[in-house]
Amino acid sequence: MKQIVPSFCSSSFLLISRLLAIFLCISPTQSRFSVKIGNDVLSQICAQTEDRNSCLKALQSDPRTASTNLYGLAQISINLANATATETKTKIKSQLGQTTDPNLYDKYLHCLDSYVNAVSKINYANERWSIKDFLALEAAASDCLIDINTCKDVTTPASPFLPQQNDKSHLLCSAMLTIAKRLAAGNN
């Protein structure tokens, strides 16, 4: 008995200190981004975009949002921005083939260029996201907004879809930017 107690104590002490060491090594990197996104944080993120309610609606339209962390939410915003910008690009292309008004044709051509660039920024953002380069992700999201603005600025269109698509694309890149900023700052 006299020998069992001390050896039990020292072995459990060893075990506990090992666990503690493992925990201390893992937690600084893991806990930073592993927290599930709550509605409060989602609200805060969307409040920093130009349209809080549409932002919430868009992010929550993806079922992954309910159970993901900030890192996962970044990719959701990237995927949503990609889908909308790609859709806009496709619509502009198809309008180009049908437009007879030379003024409108020029505007569509200009916007096609903007959206080709925006889509490539979004896909670059995804590459940076995958290697956790959050500063570059932030820069790419910001570039995406600039590209979309060059189409917004030029358009006073008799276009049936462009103003709406511009707003939606702008909002999603704006959500991407807000999330990227939080990741870059190390916030949850």
Within 121-160, which residues bind ligand NAG (CB under 6 A)?
123, 126
- Please say whether the dihedral angle defined by the alpha carbons of residues 67, 71, 74 and 75, taken in this order, is positive or negative: negative
- Tell me if 120 contacts ligand NAG by CB under 6 A: no
Query: Stretches 37-45, 76-84, 130-138, 160-168: which one binds ligand NAG (CB under 6 A)?
Result: 76-84
Q: For the window 2-41, what string marks contact with ligand NAG as x by the rule CB under 6 A?
A: ----------------------------------------
CA 99 remoteness from chain centre: 34
Shortest distance, position 83 Cβ to ligand NAG, whole Å = 6
Sole residue written with tokens 């989602």: 42
Q: Closest Cα partner for 59 from 44, 48, 46?
A: 46
Q: Kindly state whether residue 80 participates in binding ligand NAG, applying the rule CB under 6 A.
A: no
Minimal CA–CA distance to 61: which of 36, 86, 44, 83? 83
For residue 175 the two structure tokens come to 């959500």
Q: Under the rule (CB under 6 A), what is the footprint of ligand NAG? A: 78-79, 82, 86, 123, 126
